[in-house]
Amino acid sequence: MPKTTNTQTPGTVLQSYIDEYQINAFSLSKSIKVAYQSVTNIIKGKGRISTNIALRLGQYFGNAPQYWLDVQSSSEMSELSEDKKFLKILKSIPKANKPKGKVKKEPAGSKKTVKSAGKKQKTVKTKSGKKTKVKKAGRSSKK
């Protein structure tokens, strides 16, 4: 496996794998079933390693897709840490403040009970996506 450092770009890492396995960008693109241009763009630094590409590279080279995503993410973080305009914006973002006291929150999967006086039932989805039957109120026709 080629050695990598935090300063390497996804393109240089991919190129080192291509060199070590003695293949070329065209044969790699055919093997992982992506456009040749996608592979060359990553190598040239014009494209990025998406989740889709990371899964394919992981399968092909026998390593974890997360490795390829980490290479991409590390490169982007390094790039942004050197961007003075971005750092100025980042410093201007305030910290979030948690509210004081306890906030009562309903659990995500809980069912809500709806009480009504009718006989009809209606199916309602809860927050968790489960369906439950709820009695539907009947209309009274008092005049």
**Tens digit of pLDDT for each residue in 85-139?**
999 999 999 999 999 887 667 667 665 555 555 555 566 666 666 666 655 555 5
The residue written with tokens 């997360």 in the block is 66
| Residue 97 placed within a domain | no
Our count of domains for the chain comes to 1
The CATH number given to whatever domain includes residue 86 is 1.10.260.40
Q: Is the pTM of this model over 0.85?
A: no
| Residue 135 placed within a domain | no
Average pLDDT value for residue range 20-42? 98
| Residue 138 placed within a domain | no
Secondary structure letter of residue 35 according to DSSP: -
Question: Closest Cα to residue 13, out of 58, 26, 111?
Answer: 58
| Residue 61 placed within a domain | yes
Q: Which amino acid is at 6?
A: N
In whole numbers, what is the pLDDT of the chain averaged over residues? 84
According to the model, what pLDDT value does residue 101 have?
A: 82
| Residue 15 placed within a domain | yes
| Residue 113 placed within a domain | no
CA-to-CA distance for 63 and 59, rounded, in angstroms? Answer: 7
Token representation of residue 73: 């993410």
With a cut of 80, say whether residue 84 has pLDDT above it. yes
Which of residues 107 and 22 earns the better pLDDT score?
22
Print the domain residue range for 68.
10-90
Helix (H) or strand (E) holding 65: helix 65-81
Average pLDDT value for residue range 1-17? 79
Q: In the structure, what pLDDT confidence band is assigned to residue 55 with cuts at 50, 70 and 90?
A: very high
